[in-house]
Amino acid sequence: MSNYDNFDFNRTLPLINEDTEFFPLMSQEDEEEMNNEETPDILSILPLRNTVLFPGVVIPITVGRDKSIKLIKDAYRGDRIIGVVSQRDVGIEDPSFEELNQVGTVALIIKMLQMPDGNTTVIIQGKQRFRLNEEVQSEPYIKATIQKFEEVRPKTDKEFKALMASIKEMAMQIIDLSPNIPSEAGIAIKNIESSSFLINFISSNMNADVAAKQQMLEVVNLHERAKMVLGHLTQELQMQELKNQIQSKVRVDLDKQQRDYFLNQQLKTIQEELGGNSPDLEIENLRLRATRKKWTKDAANHFNKEIEKLARMNPAAADYSIQINYLELLLDLPWNDFTKDNFDLKRAEKVLEKEHYGLEKVKQRIIEYLAVLKLKHNMKAPILCLVGPPGVGKTSLGKSIAKALGRKYVRMALGGIRDEAEIRGHRKTYIGAMPGRIIQSIKKAGSSNPVFVLDEIDKVGNDFRGDPSSALLEVLDPEQNNAFYDHYVEVDYDLSSVMFIATANSLSSIQPALLDRMEIIEVNGYTIEEKIEIAKQHLLPKQRDQHGIKSKDISLKSAVIEKVIEDYTRESGVRGLEKKIGSLVRGVATKVAMDVEYNPIISKTDVETILGPPIYDKDLYEGNEVAGVVTGLAWTQVGGDILFIEASLSPGKGKLSLTGNLGDVMKESATIAMAYLRANASKFNIDFRLFDQWDVHVHVPAGATPKDGPSAGITMLTALTSVFTQRKVRPHLAMTGEITLRGKVLPVGGIKEKILAAKRANIKEIILSKSNRKDILEIKEDYIKDLKFHYVSEMKEVIELALSKDKVKDAIELTVKNLAGTSIN
């Protein structure tokens, strides 16, 4: 078996072997003479493992096995003609006849050399191609009959000439690009005249595997073989260009690093001469700052470890500035820096009263916290959640609390946050990484015990990047936030002394686990009286300062402010009221600036002149002149409101129709009311046959406004009972409450807003569930002294209180008698 010693010009470029000291060139006449030589019918076959021999090409091979050496010596003593065939599987040491390729090349042994290592090297030249027929001998080496392999030569047309020119040009380009190929190779290729020999020469020496070369050897048509060679050369040229490009890039990068290193060394020297900060001096400054920090033990160890890491870095490295920024963040964080709390409770109470009118429950909770903190200094800060409609002062209350406590104030808006990294930060390995907003806000505050307002916590979103509300669980848990872990800081930070105050408009969208960690305090809407006082004490002075108006230039009486509230705003808070007062102040500012005479005491007429006609109609009580009309109380995002539920009958088959843009819960309340009324018709003196002879239509006006909730349950049942009994509802009466199929009256929410709406609408009596009595007790008596409350637990109590004793003229019994021909007693 033969072993082939690479001839392919180092195969790094792969065109021609640089170790070869001669290039056998073959003219057209030499090729014709070679093709006309007689070939023996039987040849000794030498298997080649690592290469393919082409006609006309000269290659050296090394033979090491006894079988191969004997074949070479026998042939060298004879006519020196052998057959060379590549084996199909290069892994076989001693291939049989069947394991050889069918096409090979007749070879002439030019020279045999005995090498110092004991191996035999022979130089052979390919002559003609042949095809194996039959094996005639297997020992001591293979002999076989052969058949001459005829080649189809194309016509020498323009296309073939262009193809050959392309092959020669591409081969020259590869030689020029490769530093390992001698220039003589290019000279040899330029001087090859024979197209067939040029193709054979390049095929033999190109960087291709044995299978690909064997495939080229077996192609009969010279034109097709030329195309295959061109394809391989194209691929090799692209690889060579890419390799050179990569080497050039690496060389440029190394050159740039060396250049940057020398420049940085020079810059360091210049900075030292000028007294500037060299990297070593910068590191020393960081160490000096660290000695003045009140570190925790873990933070100190981590800082020392990181600054040692910085000292080992090359200042020119890209990570150097990242490490500097990281260490500066650790130094900027107020690890154990706390502001001293002001425990003067009377002062704190005065500050809260001055800054905010009303909100008694919140103020009381803050004073309680200060009182306990004064007695027990290591108390964990409470986590409050202020829930209420927009504009009632939830966010600004945080500033007042910070001022009352003497603490730093920081606010973080959570509305629209969808990425968990906004809370916990990014890992330092990411490009552009930074700490989370919790840590950033603590750094901004400069103390470890600020008043931290988490604004709009109910508007936190989540998507594929994570759930920020889940990340807040650790922040807002007093049992866990003493070791808050930020991905960027990589050291636990103690948040237990931070007083977190969250604000929200609604609790429905807050994660239950997060809701459980907070102390919920409802901040209800303001009454008209409260809004008037807020306008006088806060809004008007603020608008005067913003518009450059003095107190003598404008005066707003309570009646005028009340008109603005009722006719131009509809809200629980005072944000819209502030805008309207700002419009009045600007109207006055215009007159002052133009030196126009005016009356500084603004009248109701002046209000309509400046603000235009009233925007809203006051929700006044409408008289219930007909049976089936009941006044209900509702809660909205902008405060309380009254609504009217109307029920009417028409001849039919007992169908129930609901209109007025009602939600599913409200529709269910109507269905429950109808079912209860059917089941208890005898208790209310209603003939059960009416339910099958009349269609019922329940409508809630303002159809463009969506309505939902269970609080209209007793109102629905009262309306249905009224229309079936034809008993009118008592005047100036409103109600709210949920019902059950058993006729129980359940409590509902938003009582304060609903009561305020009833008072605005001139309601005198209100029916509520007994369980809502506690909500009425929280409202100041001054605001509800003109209202009478009826507390009920059963629906029959509601009917007795709500419906009058007298029936409407043309009672329903007569109508039924006329239509159905039956008498109702």
Could you give the residue numbers annotated as active site? Answer: 711, 754
- Report the C-alpha gap between 527 and 211 in whole angstroms: 94
Residue type, 610: I
Give the distance from CA 416 to its chain's centroid: 11
- Any bridge partners for residue 727, and if so which? 807
| Burial of 668 from C-beta contacts in 10 A (0-12 / 13-18 / 19+) | middle
* Length, in residues, of the chain: 825
- Report the C-alpha gap between 185 and 168 in whole angstroms: 12
**Which of 707, 712, 633 is closest to 671 using CA atoms?**
712
- Report the C-alpha gap between 793 and 92 in whole angstroms: 99
Assign 605 to helix, strand or coil: helix
Q: Number of helices (H) and strands (E), helices first, in the chain?
A: 30, 27
Give the distance from CA 345 to its chain's centroid: 45
**Which of 475, 548, 467 is closest to 518 using CA atoms?**
475
Which residues fall within 8 angstroms of residue 162, CB to CB, at 6 or more apart? none
Calculate helix-pair angle for 604-611, 575-593, nearest 10 degrees.
90
Residue type, 349: E
Structure tokens at 61: 């091979």
- Report the C-alpha gap between 740 and 676 in whole angstroms: 8
Q: Are 759 and 786 in contact (CB under 8 A)?
A: yes
- Report the C-alpha gap between 117 and 229 in whole angstroms: 37
| Burial of 226 from C-beta contacts in 10 A (0-12 / 13-18 / 19+) | buried
Q: Are 620 and 673 in contact (CB under 8 A)?
A: no
Q: Are 683 and 723 in contact (CB under 8 A)?
A: no
- What are the φ/ψ torsions at residue 124 (nearest 5 degrees)? -125, 155
Structure tokens at 56: 């006309």
Positive or negative: CA dihedral 52, 55, 56, 60: positive
